[in-house]
Copies of this chain bind each other. A is one copy, B any other.
């Protein structure tokens, strides 16, 4: 039987990484929700980078620049990780290459990029992702981006939702207590995630920034079907990535 396990943060990744060649990266508020939304709405590819400096370099080379730190768009950029912004600017962004750096999500993608297969999860693409994962018949590690290496609730809920579907299929099992806890928290929260997360640290952070519409969007399951996958250093739609390996060759150029 295959394993599905949940890792609460990039800091914990070295403790969990062994025995997995397929990693799902999650940053519900808001990086991975934004990535799924951007690719579903016509962005051609997204280059995730860890630092603002790298984002500036790729932007100078012609990419649309998107950068977020601490919930706000970085000075010098006019796009961040608001999924709604990618919908509003759909025509302008169609077919374009975007470079993206965020506080937590792109760091987690960077860490996971050593693996054969890296896909992007959010509540928005939950069912489509789980259906695809079940077809792969591989061990699955779900890596929550957390908040600056700390555990967070919203990523744990989403990780628990994925683990729950895979385990419910009867073809996956979980051994780690983190996975048991994530699944339990998801089942407790699923009927009213917005209320459940009211007290969470990141909700408070985003409320201060008037981002409640983004939060509501990110907590809406299954309004998207796109599965972003990392191929040659870029996140692309699964169907566009066929035949391209994840070797991150373009990294060296940056």
Contact = CB atoms under 8 A, between A and B. Distances in A.
How many copies are assembled? 2
Interface string A119-159: 00000000000000000000000000001111111001000
Given A8-B8, A11-B12, A11-B15, A153 B175 contact: no
Contacts of A180: 153, 199-200
B153 A181 contact: yes
Given A175-B201, A200-B180, A201-B177, A15 B188 contact: no
A77 interface: no
A116 interface: no
A15 B152 CA distance: 13
Contacts of A150: 12, 15-16, 176-178
A217 interface: no
Interface residues of A, number: 26
Contacts of A194: none
A185 interface: yes
Interface in A42-72: none
Nearest to A146: B177
A20 interface: no
Contact of A185 (B8, B12, B181): B181
A177 B149 CA distance: 12
A156 B177 CA distance: 10
A17 to B, nearest CB: 12
A184 B180 CA distance: 14
Contacts of A153: 177, 180-181
Residue among A156, A177, A200 with most chain B CB within 10 A: A177
Contact of A151 (B147, B148, B178): B178
A181 B151 CA distance: 9
A156 B8 CA distance: 14
A179 to B, nearest CB: 9
Contacts of A175: 201
Nearest to A200: B177
A201 B176 CA distance: 6
21 contacts: A8-B151, A11-B11, A12-B149, A12-B150, A12-B151, A15-B149, A15-B150, A16-B150, A150-B176, A150-B178, A151-B176, A151-B178, A152-B177, A153-B181, A156-B177, A156-B181, A177-B202, A180-B199, A180-B200, A181-B185, A184-B188
